[in-house]
Amino acid sequence: MIERTTVIDGLYQDLVTIRAHAPLVHNITNLVVMSQTANALLALGASPVMAHAEEEIMEMVRIAGATVINMGTLDAQCVQRMYLALKAAKVCHVPCVFDPVGAGATPYRTQVAQALIAAGTPMVIRGNASEIMALANNECGTKGVDTLFESDNALEAARTIVRQTDHVVVISGEKDFILTKEQEIMIRNGVPMMTKVVGLGCTATALIGAFCAINPNKSMASVHAMTTLAVAGELASEKSAGPGSFQYQLLDALYNLTFEQLAGRANITFSAAVNFVV
The tens digit of pLDDT for each residue in 216-267 reads: 999 999 999 999 999 999 999 999 999 999 999 999 999 999 999 999 999 9
Secondary structure class of 96 (helix, strand, coil): strand
- 67: part of which helix (H) or strand (E)? strand 66-70
Q: What pLDDT shows up at residue 154? A: 94
- Vertex 172 angle, CA 262 and 85, to 5°: 100
Gap between the Cα atoms of 190 and 79, Å rounded: 32
Gap between the Cα atoms of 103 and 18, Å rounded: 31
Secondary structure class of 101 (helix, strand, coil): coil
- Which pLDDT band, with edges at 50, 70 and 90, does 206 fall under? very high
pTM for the predicted model, two decimal places? 0.94
- Which pLDDT band, with edges at 50, 70 and 90, does 274 fall under? low
Q: In the chain, what are the domain boundaries?
A: 4-272
Q: What pLDDT shows up at residue 272? A: 84
Mean pLDDT of 171-200: 95
Cβ atoms of 99 and 68 within 8 Å: the answer is: yes
| Angle subtended by helix axes 107-118 and 76-92, to nearest 10 | 20
Q: What pLDDT shows up at residue 5? A: 85
The tens digit of pLDDT for each residue in 11-46 reads: 999 999 999 999 999 999 999 999 999 999 999 999
Q: What is the CATH number of domain 4-272?
A: 3.40.1190.20
Q: What pLDDT shows up at residue 275? A: 55
- Which pLDDT band, with edges at 50, 70 and 90, does 276 fall under? very low
Residue 121: pLDDT over 60: yes
Q: What pLDDT shows up at residue 76? A: 93
Q: What pLDDT shows up at residue 273? A: 78
Secondary structure class of 168 (helix, strand, coil): strand
For 121, list phi and psi in degrees, rounded to 5. Answer: -75, 125
The tens digit of pLDDT for each residue in 64-105 reads: 999 999 999 999 999 999 999 999 999 999 999 999 999 999
The tens digit of pLDDT for each residue in 127-159 reads: 999 999 999 985 555 555 555 688 999 999 999
| Angle subtended by helix axes 34-44 and 4-21, to nearest 10 | 100
Gap between the Cα atoms of 97 and 207, Å rounded: 10
Task: Output the DSSP codes for the chain.
Answer: ---HHHHHHHHHHHHHHHHHH--EEEEE--TTTHHHHHHHHHHHT-EEE----GGGHHHHHHH-SEEEEE-SS--HHHHHHHHHHHHHHHHHT--EEEE-TTTTSSHHHHHHHHHHHHT---EEEEE-HHHHHHHTT----EETTEESS-GGGGHHHHHHHHHHH--EEEE-SSSEEEE-SSEEEEE----GGGGGSTTHHHHHHHHHHHHHHH-S-HHHHHHHHHHHHHHHHHHHHTT-SSHHHHHHHHHHHHHH--HHHHHHH--EEEEE--S---
